Amino acid sequence: MSPENKKEFLAAEYGDLFFADANIKTCLPAQADEVSIHLNYRICYVLEGSGTFTVNHQPFALVAGQGILMTPNDVAYGEASKTDPWRYLWIAFNGNQAGHYLEYCKLSREHPVFVTTHGDLLEQKVLEMTRYKNHSVPGMLYLTGLLYQVLSVLAEDADLPYIYKVAENPYVIQTIRYIQDHYKGNIQITDSAEALSVHRCYLSMIFKKTLGLSPQQFLMTFRIKKAEQLLQNTNYSISEIAKSCGYTDADSFCKAFKKVNHINPSTYRKDDELE
């Protein structure tokens, strides 16, 4: 099947969402992309370093952990930082329902910037996309399946209430990344502060100023959010969920869960099953 016929087939038979292209780009200091008009939706996510995407003449300065959505017919280009050039991934896609799926990720032309700390997973999916050379119809469906997985990750993060408040603060982003990577263990916020070369009190201050929560409060909220997902989607026991979310025993987990949700985990699970 020719590329033209393939695109016609995808648009006609699988027009809700389809993969177009993807890659990972490593830039030199101050390296700028050519100005281009994007015909598809494009998600860019910064893996390392920093830089600025200019979309329809509006600049968006991004650091590692942040990404941006570009929509069809946007005029855009990117420029790497002079001192900390970025490495970023991008995924191009389209489809009749693409905008609808992006709504689940809380992404639109009006709100294009996002934060996710699942950069390793996104990079893994894009590497799979770039390595997959089978461009038959089954192959294109496989690639679109990977795209669905990427959007699933972004939608999961978008469901967390804090995520859009951190776009301006790299210290907060890095602290969230540390918490998401280590929430199952015995986390010490001082470890994150040391890794960022900032004082613990300063980190706590900017964290609370940005999110309205201390790092410790955020950790508890994040753990409980993960516990809710396990209660909804698995048959794990309360004790197993407690350990999976960083609690040493079921009692301390139930106490924290009730503090956040005002009901115990068992009742939460039963209520969810009834809906």
pLDDT at 1: 45
Residue 254: pLDDT band with limits 50, 70, 90:
very high
* Domain boundaries of the chain, sorted by first residue: 3-159, 165-274
CATH number for the domain running over 165-274: 1.10.10.60
Q: In what order do the strands lie in the sheet with 41-48?
A: 18-26, 87-94, 41-48, 66-70, 113-115
pLDDT at 9 exceeding the cut of 50: no
pLDDT at 79: 96
Residue 206: pLDDT band with limits 50, 70, 90:
confident
Of 56-60, 77-81, 260-264, 267-271, which gets the smallest average pLDDT?
Answer: 267-271
pLDDT at 73: 93
Element (H, E) at 24: strand 18-26
- 16-34 pLDDT, tens digit per residue, is 898 999 999 999 999 999 9
CATH number for the domain running over 3-159: 2.60.120.280
- 73-117 pLDDT, tens digit per residue, is 999 999 999 998 999 999 999 999 999 999 989 899 988 988 886
- 114-173 pLDDT, tens digit per residue, is 888 688 899 999 999 998 877 777 888 899 999 999 999 998 877 665 555 555 677 887
pLDDT at 54: 95
Query: How much of the chain exceeds pLDDT 90, in percent?
Result: 45
C-alpha 188/C-alpha 230 separation (Å) is 24
pLDDT at 160: 63
Which residues sit opposite 43 in a β-bridge?
A: 69, 91
DSSP helix/strand/coil, 123: helix
**What average pLDDT does the segment 55-71 reach?**
90
Contact 186, 226 (CB under 8 A): no
DSSP helix/strand/coil, 14: coil
